[in-house]
Each structure stands twice: as C-alpha cells, then as structure tokens.
Amino acid sequence: MKDKSKIVVVGGGFAGLEFVKTLSNVEEYDITLIDSNNYNFFPPLLYQVSTGFMEPSAISYPFRKILRGMKNVHFRLGSLEKVVPNENKVVLDNGILDYDILVIATGTETNFFGNKSIEAYSLPMKTISDALSLRNVVFTRLDKATRIEDKKERKKLLTFVIAGAGPTGVELSGILSEMRMHILQKDYPELTDDDLGEIYLLDGQDSVLAAMSEKAQQYTLDKLSKLNVKVVLNTLVTDFKDGVVHLSDDTNIESENLIWAAGVSARVFEGFDQSSYGAGKRLKTNEFNLVDGHQNIYALGDSALLTNDKNYANGHPQIAQPAIQQGENLAKNLKLAPNLWKPFKYTNKGSLAIIGRNKAVMDSPNHIFFVKGFLAWLIWIFVHIMGLVNFKNKLRTFYNWIGYYIYKDQYFRMIIKPSDKK
Ligand SMILES: Cc1cc2nc3c(=O)[nH]c(=O)nc-3n(C[C@H](O)[C@H](O)[C@H](O)COP(=O)(O)OP(=O)(O)OC[C@H]3O[C@@H](n4cnc5c(N)ncnc54)[C@H](O)[C@@H]3O)c2cc1C
C-alpha cells in the first residue's frame, strides 16, 4: 500500500482551517495543522473583546475540538521558525516536522513601520492577547482617572487616539464613543462630563474606510461626527512618548492611549529566499497558490501574493473571504489530477463595516449598490454571526447582542491579569 502524503499546514486562521476542513477525511493525505495558539479565533470581533462587550471565548474555539472526527488531521501546538525546503522540513519552536506538501497560512502581524517607541507604548489590535491587554489597560486607566486630581492628567487618561481609519479603527472609535455615552458616567460617577476626554480617529489617507465607496465613507464620517469622534485625515502618527501623540502636521495630542490599527505585514520566515517575498512581505505565488521557485510549498490568505487573478493584479485584499476561498480552492485541487487543477479566482462578496448601534455600511460587489443604517447593521450582525466557527458561539453572540441592543450595555469589563506562574 502506498504511504499517505504528509501535508503540513502552518496557521489555522480562515485560510488554513478552510483548507483542512475541505481536505479532511480524504484518505490519501495525512494532515498536521500547526498553530502557535491552541484555538482558532475570529478577528472581526476583536474590538468588542477589547472594550468589554464580548468575552474572548465567544469568538474563539479550541482546535482539538474543531478537528474531532477528522480522522486524517492532527493538531500540533507550536510556532514555525524556519523552513528547510531542500530537506522538506519545518523547524518549530518545539521540534521539527517533515512534509511532502507545505502550506503557509500564517496571516499577518502588526506593522509599526519601524517606530520603536510606537511599538513599545501603543496598543495593537491583532490577537486575542492584544484585545485582552487593551481591555485591561483601558479599564485600569479609567479607574486610575477617578483617583487623579489634576484635570489635565485625568483627561490624558480618558482621551483615546486610534491610528488607522479602516474598519477596525472605525469600529473601535464608534464603540468607545458609545461606551462614553452610555456606560462611563454610570460606572464611574466620580467623572464629570468635562473629564470624559476625546476620541480621535487618524489616518494618513484622505478618507475613512479607504476601500469602500464614497457614499459609505461619507455616511461613516457623518455618523462618527454625531458620535463626537474627531476624525483627522491626511495625517500620520510620527511618534508616541510620555503621553503625547506626535502628528505629521507638527501638532500633537495629549493622550496616554494610542491604539494602533494602522497597518499589518505578513510574517517572514527564515528559509525562504528574499526574492520570494513581494509587497507587504507576502509570499509570491502562481495562480494555484504555489510559492514562486518551489514545487511543494503553497501560501494562502494574507500570507500570499497572487497577482495573476485578472481583477487583482496587486494581490487580493487582506480580508477573510480571499483567505477562505483560497483555502478551499487549493484543497479541492489537491483532490484532483494535476492537469485538472483550477486557478484561483476571487469572488468578491462585498464589504461591510459597523460604526455603532443601528449604524453600518455595506457595499455590494463592485460598488453597484450601497446599504446603510439599520438594514446594513442587521446584515452586519447576520454575516458576523454566521462567520463564527460553531453553533454555541453563534447563539451566545446573538444573545449578547440582543442584550446590548436593549440595555446599551455589556459587562465584560473585568481587569484580569494572568499570574506569572508557569
Ligand atoms: C482587528 C481585525 C479586524 C478585522 N476585521 C475584518 C472584517 O471585518 N472582515 C474581514 O473580511 N476581514 C477582517 N480582518 C482581516 C482578516 O481577519 C484577515 O484577512 C484573515 O484573518 C486572514 O486569514 P488568514 O488565514 O490568512 O490569516 P489569519 O486568520 O490571521 O490566521 C493566521 C494563523 O496563523 C497562526 N500563526 C501565525 N504565526 C504563526 C507561526 N509562526 N507558527 C504557527 N502559527 C502561526 C495564527 O495564530 C493564526 O491562527 C480583520 C483583521 C483584524 C486584525
């Protein structure tokens, strides 16, 4: 009997997990899924975890439970450090594995554009750990503000600057503003209206939600202004230290809280030639997601730069759908004889962003039509609930959101810091 082909998949996000699910129970393959976390999570709802509106377990799920029943799939907790292509091996932080086929689906990490001070003191929003850390910092500082007499220092603790006006920045500024309106004065009676600080949303481009239609951008600007969010465009954050955010127009904002949602870049691993990486440090691939210069290494999702899809000559947007669709396409191809493989072609399903309660925007594919307000908000809720990985999380999130809709409040504002014990 012929040995099974060994597939090693690194990264169990949207792309890696879709790949594994589509190829599960195909007898000719033995699949190992490696991830540095023991859970899959849903990044679009991180901002709700970071502000105490959702609990982390509602948007995450353990891999070993997801993979139950997939007889040919094994899970390995570990972080990829190096690839050795001429020996078909991957070096992890806790061992070495060999493969016949390697799939890199490790997504992106926060890009601080080389600014060490921003990296050290700002609050990123990329992982569940980031979201929990942001939650701890925000609620620790709110409490600290109640004990501070100096009004200027108090305001610095209560002013939030969000860098990056993509969907994450817009969502965060909206939810922080709603928190300021509906929760802060109830929970922190020591603070007066004057104390509550400002919320700034900054971007180097000339619009919010740069990838969306002009109508969506305009509606978002209007709603953010009604929520008292100060939107500052065509302006970059140049530095952040000693409680001051420095801007490219030589002004600055006094704030202890810089939330960094301004950029990502793909993860780089030792073992690939520099020439394998393209824009955003993504691995360059052909139309089948095969990494340039390799015979048996594929890259998927945010890690991949596939430029021969006709409408996406600069690569696909780094969002969930291209990752899911690439994972599925590669898995389906691996079930076929090589001459029957289908090149990847992205189906754009449109884009959505939420600004706050009852306020969202939706662009249809190719911006043919635009939906806003309550209807877009309902669509946003439906799409995000469907995107969660299992039924229990969908139900919990739905229940949670009904609670928020009725009471304009949620209660996951606990400051929980892990102890150092290993
Ligand atoms: C805050 C936020 C909000 C977002 N909102 C939206 C949205 O509303 N809509 C949308 O479409 N997209 C959204 N995105 C983008 C979307 O999440 C990504 O495009 C998508 O997750 C890419 O999927 P992926 O499988 O390529 O990578 P990911 O989903 O990022 O998965 C990568 C996986 O690799 C693992 N990993 C990383 N490094 C290693 C390593 N060295 N070794 C082992 N494992 C590793 C990670 O733990 C992770 O599980 C958002 C992203 C963020 C950060």
Quick one: pLDDT at residue 411? 86
How many Cβ atoms are within 10 Å of 48's Cβ, its own excluded? 25
Counting atoms of ligand 1 from 1, which one is nearest the CA of 327? Answer: 25
Test site for ligand 1: of 18, 19, 22, 35, most ligand atoms within 8 A of the Cβ: 35
The lowest-confidence range among 158-172, 179-193, 197-211, 238-252 is 179-193
User: Which three-class secondary structure string do you get for the chain?
Assistant: CCCCEEEEEECCCHHHHHHHHHHCCCCCEEEEEEECCCEEECHHHHHHHHCCCCCHHHCEEEHHHHCCCCCCEEEEECCEEEEEHHHCEEEECCEEEECCEEEECCCEEECCCCCHHHHHHCEECCCHHHHHHHHHHHHHHHHHHHHCCCHHHHHHHHCEEEECCCHHHHHHHHHHHHHHHHHHHHHCCCCCHHHHCCEEEECCCCCCCCCCCHHHHHHHHHHHHHCCEEEECCCCEEEEECCEEEECCCCEEECCEEEECCCEEECCCECCCHHHECHHHCEEECCCCEECCCCCEEECHHHEEECCCCCCCCCCCCCHHHHHHHHHHHHHHCCCCHHHCCCCCCCCCCEEEEEECCEEEEECHHHCCEEEHHHHHHHHHHHHHHHCCCHHHHHHHHHHHHHHHHHCCCCCCCCCCCCCCC
pTM, two decimal places: 0.95
Residue 316 has pLDDT above 70, yes or no: yes
Q: What is the mean pLDDT of residues 276-300?
A: 97
Whether the predicted pLDDT of 421 surpasses 80:
no
Q: Is the CB of 167 under 6 A from ligand 1?
A: yes
In this prediction, residues 271-285 reach a mean pLDDT of 96
**Which of 21, 96, 106, 361 for mutating ligand 1's site (highest number of atoms within 8 Å of CB)?**
106
* pLDDT at 25 > cutoff 90: no
Is residue 227 predicted with pLDDT exceeding 80? Answer: yes
Least confident of 135-144, 180-189, 212-221, 294-303: 180-189
Does any ligand 1 atom lie closer than 6 A to the CB of residue 8?
A: no
Q: Using CB atoms within 10 A of its CB, is residue 5 exposed (0-12), middle (13-18) or buried (19+)?
A: middle
Work out the average pLDDT over 207-226: 97
**How far, in Å, from the CA of 37 to the mean position of ligand 1?**
12
* Mean pLDDT within 413-417: 93
pLDDT classification of 422: cutoffs 50, 70, 90: low
Query: What's the rounded mean pLDDT across residues 101-121?
Result: 97
Tell me, what's the pLDDT at 235? 98
pLDDT at 418: 84
5-36+78-110+265-340 and 116-262+350-407 share one CATH topology? yes
Residue 148 Cα to ligand 1 midpoint, Å, equals 39
Task: Report the mean per-residue pLDDT for the chain.
Answer: 95
pLDDT average, residue stretch 103-115: 97
Mean local confidence (pLDDT), 274-295: 97
Give mean pLDDT, residues 312-330. 96
Percent over 90 (pLDDT), the chain: 91
* pLDDT reported for residue 410: 86
pLDDT at 289 over 70: yes
Q: What is the CATH number of domain 116-262+350-407?
A: 3.50.50.100
Superfamily grouping for domain 5-36+78-110+265-340: FAD/NAD(P)-binding domain (3.50.50.60)
Q: Whose CA is nearest to atom 20 of ligand 1?
A: 320
Cβ pair 174, 224 in contact under 8 A: yes
Cα 108 to averaged position of ligand 1 atoms, centre (Å): 6
For residue 17, report the distance from its CA to the centre of ligand 1, in Å: 11
Nearest residue (CA) to ligand 1, atom 6: 44
Which atom of ligand 1 approaches the CA of 126 most closely?
53
CA of 110 to the centre of ligand 1 (A): 11
- In this prediction, residues 217-238 reach a mean pLDDT of 98
For residues 14-42, average pLDDT: 97
- Give 42-76 pLDDT, tens digit per residue: 999 999 999 999 999 999 999 999 999 999 999 99
| The pLDDT value given to residue 3 | 82
Report pLDDT for 5. 96
- pLDDT for position 389: 85
What are the residue ranges spanned by the domains of the chain?
A: 5-36+78-110+265-340, 116-262+350-407
Establish whether residue 203 lines the binding site of ligand 1, counting it when its CB lies within 6 angstroms of any ligand atom.
no
Task: Using pLDDT thresholds of 50, 70 and 90, give the confidence band for residue 2.
Answer: low
72 CA → ligand 1 middle, Å: 24
Q: What pLDDT score was predicted for residue 367?
A: 85
